[in-house]
Amino acid sequence: MRRNVARRSALAATGARNLDYIFAPVRSTTAFEETLERLGTAIKLGLLPPGTRLPAERELCEQLGIARSTLRQALTALVQSGYLVAIRGRGGGTFVAERPPVAEAPTEELLASWRDLLDQRLAVELGVALLAAERAQPEALPPLRELVATMDDRLDDFSAYRQADVRFHMELAEATGSPRLAAAMTEIQGAMTDLILYIAHPPEVLAWSNAQHGKLVDCLEGGDGDRAVAVMTEHLRGTEHVLAGLLPD
């Protein structure tokens, strides 16, 4: 009996330490994605068991050091993905779902390769961002800005948004003047299709992502390769954080 009590106490202490990490302040550059990853991972690992009620929004914002709008985006994504349940009214709040997400489970092949795929995407997209900023001709900018505007108008229609998103990255590759990079971008965008399905797409998240598209065009216009690489890195790492939070281990 004493041994069982001691074990439970040790497990409780370990869980408390883990939750200290989960609810520690996050970095501002990827606040939404990192918040989603932390909460999603905590749920998958059982650190936040089914039925657990999350702290109030104000308390969570203070613990994580993020804006309420950022927290709500992350909670919305996790609700849409089936990890959390939002209940209104007296006694309501945001709770860990009693059952796993109902979405179709990713294939074993996808689970085994998604991080490698993101590494490949990182290599291709960073090279494209750097060279596009160095080489883009003035006539390459209007089509890119038009696609950014199109995505702003399609925040409530992810299918249409995604079409413009793919075209944006393809146009970016074309701006490098390298047929091989354009081909590599085509391949990586096709490979990302299945992964993208596992990311929640509330309008606020799409708006944040598209703001980075706009920054990339600004980098091309100013010929700022270093800044283009920094913006693209943030853009891609955001996807990695979200997938880490939503995909099963």
Q: What is the pLDDT of residue 102?
A: 47
Give me the pLDDT at residue 161, please. 93
pTM of the model: 0.67
Question: What pLDDT is attached to residue 189?
Answer: 87
**Domains, the chain, with CATH or none:** 2-96 (1.10.10.10), 108-246 (1.20.120.530)
Q: How far apart are CA 138 and CA 120, in angstroms?
A: 29
Convert 151-184 to b/e letters by CB count within 10 Å (16 or more is b): bbebbeebeebbebbbbbbbbbbbbbebeebbeb
Packing angle between helix 108-135 and helix 179-196, nearest 10 degrees?
A: 140
The per-residue pLDDT for 192 is: 86
The residue among 220, 237, 211, 229 whose CA lies nearest residue 172 is 220
Task: Tell me the CB-side half-sphere exposure of residue 104, using CA atoms within 13 A.
Answer: 7
pLDDT digits (tens, 9 = 90+) for 107-151: 777 777 888 999 999 999 999 999 999 999 999 999 999 999 999
pLDDT, position 90: 80
Distance (Å, rounded) from C-alpha 205 to C-alpha 73?
7
Q: Report the C-alpha gap between 19 and 202 in whole angstroms.
A: 26
The confidence score (pLDDT) of residue 216 equals: 98
Digit-by-digit pLDDT tens for the chain (249 residues) are: 444 434 333 334 434 445 665 677 776 557 888 888 788 877 876 778 889 999 999 999 998 888 898 898 889 888 887 889 999 878 789 999 987 564 456 677 777 788 899 999 999 999 999 999 999 999 999 999 999 999 999 999 988 898 899 899 999 999 999 999 998 998 888 888 778 877 778 888 889 899 999 999 999 999 999 999 999 999 998 888 878 777 765
- One-letter amino acid identity for 22? I
